[in-house]
Structure 1
Amino acid sequence: MAHTAPPPPPDVLAPARLGPLTLRNRIIKAATFEGRTPDALVTDELIEYHRRPAAGGVGMTTVAYCAVAPEGRTERRQIWMRPEAVPGLRRLTDAIHAEGAAVSAQLGHAGPVADARSNGLPALAPGRLLSPVSLRLSKPATEADIARVTRAHADAARIAIESGFDAVEIHFGHNYLASSFLSPKLNRRTDGYGGSLENRAKVARGIARAVRDEVGDRIAITAKLNMEDGVPGGFGIDESIEVARFLQDDGSVDALELTAGSSLLNAMYLFRGDAPIKEFAAHFPQPQRLGIRLLGKQFLRSYPYEEAFLLESARRFRAALDLPLILLGGITRRETMDRAMTEGFEFVAMARALLREPDLIARIAADGDVRSSCIHCNRCMPTIYTGTHCPLTD
């Protein structure tokens, strides 16, 4: 009996379906806080930040951290989804569409990662947690808080449609609110939202369901899910695969973007490469500056960079799921993108390399041997305070 050869892997630069959406290729500009919204509204600088990689060839760019509620912002200058934001967001989406790319809004509630001091509002969390950012205790989320935030995600998704977005990405990573409920280290509740994984996953599943019920199939819905927090006792791969199965079975998302790390406890677990402690410290007054210089290595741990550094963990998700997956982490070369396609991932996501070279995808399309000039020094990270960019291009 003749054996049928398996179909060839998809071309990463060819059009692809994401839920109801067709992207011009399988490359997504991942969300990175832009630092260009001083009044929590769209600026010309924010539009240009996203227009450049759109013109440079990505299939879709992601507007970062569109908070669903005022207290859910990482800090007060972050966009939050409200009617006043729509005209600016519409200008942004029109500019991206004019370049031939799609655009997604990352919807989330920062939970314990929110800077309560900057926002002037208590940060929500599963319980009382001391924020290393604001040095204030979080407010334990009540059932009423959870219901309000869940509804706020649905309302934000509706605003995204009104603003011309093609997709939304729900943030279930980095120990933001939903992620903090998933973490057994951070969630010590004894009510229906704590204990078992099914209970700890209720917030994430409820939010995804509310968004799906609100938007139907008018736009694509993705979720950014932690594979692991990168801290002892935190959310790990085995439980994350189970949560991914929940979301798959619920039919609430069209794809998952797989991430890792904790903005509260181990931020560099996502980024890998050098830890720019000196550069971070320079943005703070004394005595915080000295404290960061002396103690920064305890929080900003350094992990060696390697291409596709999340692939080994992500393979376990690919083996366990039918849901489309977006591979993130150290995607800078055509051969890495092709490897992701060969291993069954439907999309790849990039961030730092596109800060250095917004036209990288167009250059790769012209010459598959092109190499990114990003050196993974992570000195772009502290520029969030002045407008996120690659300082090596200054």
Structure 2
Amino acid sequence: MMDRKDNNLTVETIFQPVQLGPIVLRNPIIKAATSEGRSPEGKVTQALIDFHRGFIEGGIGMTTLAYCAISKEGFAAPGEILMVKENMGGLKKFTEAMHEAGGKASAQLGHAGPVATKKITGVRPIAPSRFFNLTSLQTCRAITLKEIEQIKVQFADAAEVAVEAGFDAIELHFGHLYLVSSFFSPWLNKRTDQYGGSITNRTRFAKEILLAVKERIQDRLAIIVKLSMDDGIKGSIWLDESTETARILDETGAVDAFELTMGSSVSNQMYLFRGETDIDGMAATQKGIMKLGVKWFGRKILGEYPYKDLYMLESARQFQTVVKKAKLILLGGINNFEHIAIAKQEGFSLVAMGRALLREPDIIQKMRTHPYKTGLCIHCNKCMFSVYSTTNCVFTKDYATTSQVALG
């Protein structure tokens, strides 16, 4: 336990406004991206607005709308947002609601790549190289150079939609072995062209997307990069190369903050979440042979890792001497005021919270008056599988009971 009497980090100093690129957040707390499942037509719904407004009213600085696919082929799960101009009406209503409640709004932009399934997208998933995904039992085909160029434009187009819709920030999803981060991984990237081989080459796709986005939107909103530090998979992403990726991206000057993450949505998923591995919960989301497969092999595929507070801190420290221009956002196992204070004391400018906010949307308000209170999240991870319906904590109200009719 840290001794608060021996430092200057008080409730008042911790929750001071913080500059993030061209915007100012009322405090350094960001609702981390958690795919919501409240957009059955790929559009904003009242249920989605209510879900996020609860976090803003609960005291955070900014909430992250997730997951926003840059194309129909980029969806990762049911009920996600399609970030295109045709959905502008609902997106504007979303940002207006967040601003009205006193906070900021960020949109997480990404392409699922090897995480996608044909059942959701209607097409065969893509990866840097041909790859068989044991989790989905699907073979991904290798992305072509022409598709790489198209996806760079789609990222820039989606970022421009975010600007026009009134978002304050975007989060480029370069983590969890979604398409962009799969290029970082020697396990998935066997290419022999300019996008494969050295870590400089494997970072090229991400760098080109980042620069395309920056050129399109300039300084009209903040740019956050969600970056995998490591994914716990042998021969895949590890700190010796992810720090180099961070350095390359940081040197462009286009990144306002890195949100440092770990783990994968392709395999070994519990490396990200830590805590209880709910095999029955995962099996319940599947049908037929897939359900049996989860029960028989799920624990081996998902992995098992005990939970501990601030479990990403040790790895995240490695980026503090590498990243010179952008701010750093700490994620992982942040459940109470002390954790936020430690993050700030360690030099992180902002923190991102996920499960703790699903359990208690008003946890930040509670911290302001009761800083010694411990969060109620028990890391049972039952929320992990609610992404296949509507993401929520099983112990709290599900805002999906409000309307899921598309708002435009």
Structure 1 length-normalised TM? 0.96
8 Å CA contact 2:36–2:67 kept in 1: the answer is no
Q: Is it true that 1:371 corresponds to 2:374 in the alignment?
A: yes
- In the alignment, residue 82 of structure 1 is paired with which amino acid? V
Q: Structure 1's 7 and 113: CA in aligned 2 closer, same or farther, altered over 3 A?
A: closer
Q: 1:283 aligns with which of 282, 285, 306?
A: 285
1:63-103 Cα offsets, whole Å, 9 max, x none, are 11201111111145321111221111111111111111100
Partner of 2:394: 391
Letter paired with 1:92: F
* 1:193 equivalenced with 2:195 (yes/no): yes
Q: 1:391, 1:274 → 2: CA distance?
A: 14
CA RMSD of superposed structures (Å) = 1.7
Shift of 1:117: 2.4
Instruction: Find the counterpart in structure 2 of residue 342 from structure 1.
Output: 345
- Greater Cα offset, 144-153 or 377-386: 377-386
Q: Partner of 1:84 in structure 2?
A: 86
Deviations 1:180-235 (A, max 9, x none): 00001110111111101111111110111111111111100000000012110001
Q: 2:404 is matched with which residue?
A: none
Task: Decide whether the 8 Å contact of 2:11 with 2:368 is kept in 1.
Answer: no
| 4+ residue segments displaced more than 6 Å | 5-10
Q: Deviation of residue 345 (structure 1)?
A: 0.4
Q: Does the aligned pair in 2 maintain the 1:63–1:106 contact within 8 Å?
A: yes
SS in 2 for 1:192: coil
Partner AA of 1:321 in structure 2: V
Offset from partner CA, 1:371-390 (integer Å, 9 cap, x none): 10000000111111221111
1:392 partner SS: coil
1:233-277 deviation per Cα after TM superposition (whole angstroms, max 9, x unaligned): 001101111111111111111010000011112111111000111
The answer to whether the 8 A contact 1:229-1:236 is kept is yes
Contact 2:77 2:388 in 1 (8 A): no
337, 362, 366: which one aligns with 1:359: 362
Deviation at 1:9, TM superposition (A): 12
Long gaps (5+) in structure 1: none
For 2:148 and 2:12, how far apart are their aligned partners in 1? 40
Partners of 1:153 and 1:180 in 2: CA distance: 16
* 1:20-70 deviation per Cα after TM superposition (whole angstroms, max 9, x unaligned): 000000000000011111111111111111000010000000011201111
Task: Give me the whole-angstrom Cα distance separating, in 2, the residues matched to 1:346 and 1:372.
Answer: 21
Please report how far the alpha carbon of residue 319 of structure 1 lies from its aligned counterpart in structure 2 after TM superposition: 2.7
Q: Out of 147, 150, 156, which is 1:148 matched to?
A: 150
Contact 1:9/1:341 (CA < 8 Å) preserved in 2?
Answer: no
Distance 1:28 1:127, change over 3 A: same
Does 1:115 pair with 2:121? no
Q: Where does residue 256 of structure 2 map in the other structure?
A: 254
Q: Where do residues 1-394 of structure 1 align in structure 2 (5 Å cutoff)?
A: 11-75=13-77, 77-322=79-324, 323-393=326-396
Secondary structure at the counterpart of residue 11 of structure 1: helix
Matched to 2:386, the amino acid is T
Q: Using the TM superposition, give the Cα deviation of residue 135 of structure 1 relative to its aligned residue in structure 2, in angstroms.
A: 2.7
Letter in 2 for 1:377: C
Instruction: Indicate the percent of aligned positions where both proteins have the same amino acid.
Output: 47
- For residues 389 and 8 of structure 2, what CA distance do their matches in structure 1 show? 50
8 Å CA contact 1:222, 1:257 repeated in 2: yes
Say which SS state the counterpart of residue 240 (structure 1) adopts: helix
**What is the SS of the residue equivalent to 1:209?**
helix
Cα distance in 2, alignment partners of residues 262 and 134 from structure 1: 13
Read off the aligned partner of 2:385 and give its amino acid letter: P
In the alignment of these two chains, the number of paired residues is 390
What is the DSSP-based 3-state SS (H/G/I as helix, E as strand, rest coil) of the residue aligned with 2:158?
A: helix
Q: Where do 5+ consecutive residues of structure 2 fail to align?
A: 1-6, 398-408
User: Partner letter of residue 232 of structure 2?
Assistant: G
